[in-house]
Structure 1
Amino acid sequence: MSGEIIDLPVLEGQSVKKGDLLVRINPDIYQSVVNRSVAGLENVRASLQQAEAGLRESEESYKRSKTLFDKGVISKSDWDKAVSSYEIAKANRESARFSVQSAMASVSEAQDNLKRTAIFSPADGTISKLNVELGERVVGTVQMTGTEIMRVANLRSMEVEVDVNENDIIKVNEKDSVNVEVDAYLKRTFKGVVTNIANSANSVASVDQVTNFKVRIHIEESSYEDLLQGKPSTYSPFRPGMTATVDIITMKKKDVVAVPISAIVIKKMSEIDPETPEEDADKRQEAVFVMKDGKAELRAVQTGIQDNTNIEIISGVEKEDEIITGPYTLVSKNLKKGDKVVVKPK
């Protein structure tokens, strides 16, 4: 609704209950519209009464004319006039009915607009943002985006919204566990769960044309209960707009062989096993270097799930094997099969 703010009983950061008055806009114009529409409704109702009276009169005349016409007392032209008058009277009555319905709709719309001049809180929460002051004019129409007056947020139920690349989004599912790190709370991890995954991509116009999907994560209150102790029921340790980093756990496995991602190299099958058939010699295969008798030995491996640092080895090595790790360039580019290896103490 558009108009001047005449009542603003809340402040930013204030707690509110469902149904509390948030803001009131000057209702004078909208009250005037209601009055005009009510007057218009009464006018068309009077017109309907006139149309119904005219229809009753025309109906009686029609019946008399029919009797006289059947007896041959009146001419065909007089009978046609009676029929025409009756049909016109019925049409006028229907038109008046529709006018009443239209006027009733106008009254209902005007009354709804009048009610909207007083805005009440839709739920319990906190005024997280207040953009206006008493006396300001606000704009709100169907054709354009209106003035954002304020935001009411439930700060006890916080969500993190993150962008997930299209290559990773297929791995994410609702109810996946999440580790959340908020910049305001260093060296602390909060627990969360994926609650919503966007169906449409959020493309960012750039040279690389990055395509991401919005994912919403609910932060579980149980992971920050200590921060709520001694605080009001509406208090939240988080604020809208804070920055956070998340790790979405798409799969978990226990008691597996895992190595640093930098230990995985891609080699031709002929480099891994000289006896590889010629048709498979140039195929690329994931492998690791294993130390055997002080020398580097290549082993083809099958990998599984991974996180930011480690990757699972499903097959190809045993738990007792000593896998060679180090800087990626050193392991992937410089280290060769058969090179002598010296173990550095950690």
Structure 2
Amino acid sequence: MAKNNSKRTWLFIGGGVVVIFLGLFIAKQQGWIGKVDPTVVEFGKVKRESIVEKVSASGKIQPEVEVKVSPDVSGEIVALSVAEGDSVVAGQVLLKIRPDNYVSLLARAEAQLNATKASMEQSKAALAQSEARLSKAKIDFDRNQRLHNDKVISDADFDQFQSAYMVAKQDLESAKANVKAATYNVKSSEAALKEATTNLTKTTIYAPQSGIISKLNVELGERVVGTSQMAGTEMLRIANLNNMEVRVNVNENDITRVSLGDTVIIDVDAFTSSERKFKGVVYEIASSANQSGTATSVTTDAVTEFEVKIRVLRDSYRDLIKGRLSYPLKPGMTASVEILTNRKDNILTVPLAAVTTREIGGEEVAKDAKKGSDAPAEPAKEETAQQAKKRKEKIKEVVFISEKGKAKMVEVKTGISDFDNIEIVSGLKEGQEIISGPYATVAKNLKEGELVKKKDAKAEEKK
């Protein structure tokens, strides 16, 4: 009897265990227990739109042509006939430097020239005398040579006439050399006189071109330094403010997309409050990087950049010009630009945040790494490099879609992009629904097969 009771007890226990496991299985299937909360995401659709690719940069507004005026002579400014902002024409007198010293130098050069000319005349007279002496010595020599041949005079007498003739010839050559030296001295004095005259004229500074005095660095009575070999004191700048440009630095990653003739939208800080935009065009791209981005830079965060010059189209601000001498764009103004490098119309696009990168086939790479763990030291390094290369090749651009409430990864090929959308070349179809956000979820956290649900905007507003 006791044996039957024990057996019945074990049957009850076994049945209870089966019922419990069956209940757990049903609860699991129904999601009553062990339920994983789905990731809240935002959805978007693949649609056809136009994309304008842009390169953004910032810089300063400058005149296309700006001339720095420096003196060639040193001295005190005794006359200043212009002020900053004045309009000048080519050849107009700008200022004068005290000429006293240069007048004295000119007088000294003139006196030196006259002295060398007088010396040359003396040399010419000496030459004429030498020619006359040589002529007489030649006649005496020829006469006495015949007498010597006829044994009329002695050898000693003949030697005297021969020696006098040779000396007269040498005196003539010396006189010719003195005349040539005097001629060179005259030319040197003439050059010195010309230099003194030029230096005197350089005490008056003329405008090299027409334009506006954009910067005036000197005052009346101030002393300036000037030389012909190097730049002296920068006294002022003359700029043509009718033709303005924006000089910006573009990162090396973007410079290959910028081309001559690209349209540019210019936002000048001074006109930000009025939301006024200006138009421009790229007309010059530097062939070499800025000095700050070269290998000689000692900073670790040096960025390689190239200077791009953008001509501001005058038609885009013609209505702001008030009067003949009004220039709304001033040198040194800060400006931000958007260079329109490419445009495509009616193409498949998705929000930029929807596209991310994932490693496709990461398990195979992990297996390869595990196989190579027992290899010798040197081969292991080679395999590690190969594994890194293989890993890099397996990183692909992907977009997540929702399939039966689960995230599915779809590999795509992308094209151009702006700050909002990106072109889809292959991998998706028009109208297809994709997961477009939040950015952190799509870029880092979302995984293949993960449960997802659409974000409830009303619930978020309540929160």
Quickly name the TM-score band, shorter chain normalised. Answer: 0.7 to 0.9
CA distance in 2, matches of 1:309, 1:96: 84
Which of the pair has more CA radius of gyration?
2
Q: 1:194 to 1:68 in 2, by over 3 A?
A: farther
CA distance in 1, matches of 2:301, 2:166: 80
The corresponding residue for 1:193 is 281
Q: Is the 1:156–1:234 contact (alpha carbons within 8 Å) kept by the matching residues of 2?
A: no
Amino acid at match of 1:266: T
**Among 195, 215, 237, which residue is 2:328 paired with?**
237
Q: 1:148 to 1:64 in 2, by over 3 A?
A: same
SS in 1 for 2:254: helix
The reply on whether 1:177 has 2:263 as its aligned counterpart is yes
Q: 1:170 to 1:59 in 2, by over 3 A?
A: farther
SS in 2 for 1:251: strand
The reply on whether 1:19 has 2:91 as its aligned counterpart is yes
CA deviation vs aligned residue, 1:118-162 (integer Å, no higher than 9, x gap): 222223322222222222222223466532222222222111122
Q: 1:188 to 1:100 in 2, by over 3 A?
A: same
CA deviation vs aligned residue, 1:235-264 (integer Å, no higher than 9, x gap): 211111111112223333333334444433
Q: Structure 2 matches for 1:63-102, cutoff 5 A?
A: 65=137, 72=145, 77-102=163-188
Amino acid at match of 1:30: Y
Q: Structure 2 matches for 1:30-45, cutoff 5 A?
A: 30-45=102-117
Q: Which has the higher contact order (CA 8 A, sep 6+)?
A: 2
The corresponding residue for 1:7 is 79
Identity %: 45
The corresponding residue for 2:120 is 48
CA distance in 2, matches of 1:76, 1:234: 88
Shift of 1:345: 8.1
Q: Is the 1:288–1:299 contact (alpha carbons within 8 Å) kept by the matching residues of 2?
A: yes
Q: CA RMSD in A?
A: 3.1
CA deviation vs aligned residue, 1:277-318 (integer Å, no higher than 9, x gap): xx9973234423142545433333333334455443333333
CA distance in 2, matches of 1:315, 1:5: 72
Amino acid at match of 1:284: K
The corresponding residue for 1:333 is 444
Amino acid at match of 2:113: L
Shift of 1:215: 2.3
**Among 384, 394, 401, which residue is 1:284 paired with?**
394
The corresponding residue for 1:119 is 205
The corresponding residue for 2:249 is 163
TM-score using structure 1 length: 0.84
Q: Is the 1:290–1:321 contact (alpha carbons within 8 Å) kept by the matching residues of 2?
A: no
CA distance in 1, matches of 2:271, 2:248: 18
Instruction: Please list every run of 5 or more consecutive structure 1 residues that lacks an aligned counterpart in the other structure.
Output: 272-278
SS in 2 for 1:250: strand
Q: Which moved more, 1:151-160 or 1:288-297?
A: 288-297
CA distance in 2, matches of 1:3, 1:299: 77
The corresponding residue for 2:4 is none
The corresponding residue for 1:276 is none
Shift of 1:234: 2.8
Q: Which moved more, 1:37-46 or 1:324-333?
A: 324-333
Shift of 1:220: 0.8
Shift of 1:2: 1.8
The corresponding residue for 1:274 is none
CA distance in 1, matches of 2:137, 2:413: 101
Q: Is the 1:290–1:322 contact (alpha carbons within 8 Å) kept by the matching residues of 2?
A: no
The corresponding residue for 2:413 is 302
SS in 2 for 1:254: strand
The reply on whether 1:267 has 2:371 as its aligned counterpart is no
The reply on whether 1:312 has 2:423 as its aligned counterpart is yes
CA distance in 2, matches of 1:246, 1:227: 20
The corresponding residue for 2:218 is 132
Structure with the higher helix share, 1 or 2:
2
Aligned residues: 339
CA deviation vs aligned residue, 1:76-115 (integer Å, no higher than 9, x gap): 5434423322322222222222222222222222222222
**Among 97, 107, 129, which residue is 1:57 paired with?**
129
Q: Which moved more, 1:158-167 or 1:322-331?
A: 322-331
Q: Is the 1:15–1:126 contact (alpha carbons within 8 Å) kept by the matching residues of 2?
A: yes
Q: 1:202 to 1:281 in 2, by over 3 A?
A: closer
Q: 1:262 to 1:110 in 2, by over 3 A?
A: farther
Q: Is the 1:8–1:23 contact (alpha carbons within 8 Å) kept by the matching residues of 2?
A: yes
Amino acid at match of 1:296: A
